Amino acid sequence: MANQISLTSGMRNNLLSLQKTSNMINTTQNRLSTGKKVNSPLDNPTNYFAAQSHMQRADDLSARKDGMAEAIQMVKAADAGITAISSLIESAKGVAQAALATSNVSDRETYATTFNTLRTQIDKIAQDSGYRGTNLLNDASQVVQFGQSTGDSTLSIDGFNASTQTTGLNITSASWTADNTSITGSSTQLESAMNTLRSESSKLSANLSVVTTRQEFTSSMINELKTGADNLTLADMNEEGANMLMLQTQQNLGVTSLSMASQAAQAVMRLF
């Protein structure tokens, strides 16, 4: 080019050295500001995409972990219902025993009314034990996802019918008279209902243990994945700080060297 300025060999070498040092300073500043030595595929494509894969898997597992947390609350809601229903059944058993202790028909009718009130409350609790639209005490079920893809590593939590209907706990309405048969029949139903609750509670407890264990495992996996991604991309801040000091020193020396090369060129002018 006609307007191109010619530089001496010494000045050009010093200029190139300064440009390289400036680029390295920019890179180091970027690492210090972001805390990462790999910020884009240009820095290190292998580490960058491996770290991205780790973080994506961690995000997927985080979503699954949220689902596990909801499943745990769902089971706890059902367990709270079972506990309340068990308490009502114990009260109903006490009412039946009191009815057996008297032969007065009027008293037995009063006890029967109390029994039926407790029976109604059992149904109410069974209806109110749902969580986010899923009621395990109303024969509903919930599939909990543990793995990254749908259908991979799941657990099905099956509920049961905790109402007093024949398809549930099978506690019929009381109509007690002087005959003890109907009262003992109610007591037998209550014992059977209590056994059913204990059995179903044990199943839910086992499912809760599985979900809780998987939740803890998932938390550990997420932590390991994020740590692995950090190991591939994070910069050593002490090293980068030392690099910055050294590069600034090199830059200052380069400017001094360029100045000295310029003075050598100016010496020629003194000949005239």
Alpha helices in the chain (DSSP H): 9-34, 45-100, 105-127, 181-233, 237-269
What is the phi/psi pair of residue 235, to 5°?
A: -95, 155
**Residue 117 · residue 92 · CB < 8 Å:** no
In this prediction, residues 149-157 reach a mean pLDDT of 77
What is the phi/psi pair of residue 134, to 5°?
A: -115, 120
> What pLDDT was estimated at residue 177?
80
17 or 79, which is more confident = 79
Q: What is the mean pLDDT of the chain?
A: 85
> What pLDDT was estimated at residue 270?
56
245 or 257, which is more confident = 245
Whether 272 shows a pLDDT value over 60: the answer reads no
Whether 137 shows a pLDDT value over 50: the answer reads yes
In this prediction, residues 92-116 reach a mean pLDDT of 93
Q: Which residue has the tokens 């909801």?
A: 70
In this prediction, residues 90-104 reach a mean pLDDT of 94
Tell me the β-bridge partners of 145: 154
**Model pLDDT for residues 212-225, shown as the tens digit of each residue:** 999 999 999 999 99
Q: How many CA atoms lie within 13 A of 154 on its CB side?
A: 12
**Model pLDDT for residues 19-56, shown as the tens digit of each residue:** 787 777 777 777 777 778 888 888 889 999 999 999 99
> What pLDDT was estimated at residue 261?
61
> What pLDDT was estimated at residue 28?
73
Whether 76 shows a pLDDT value over 50: the answer reads yes
> What pLDDT was estimated at residue 2?
42
> What pLDDT was estimated at residue 264?
56
Q: How many CA atoms lie within 13 A of 128 on its CB side?
A: 10
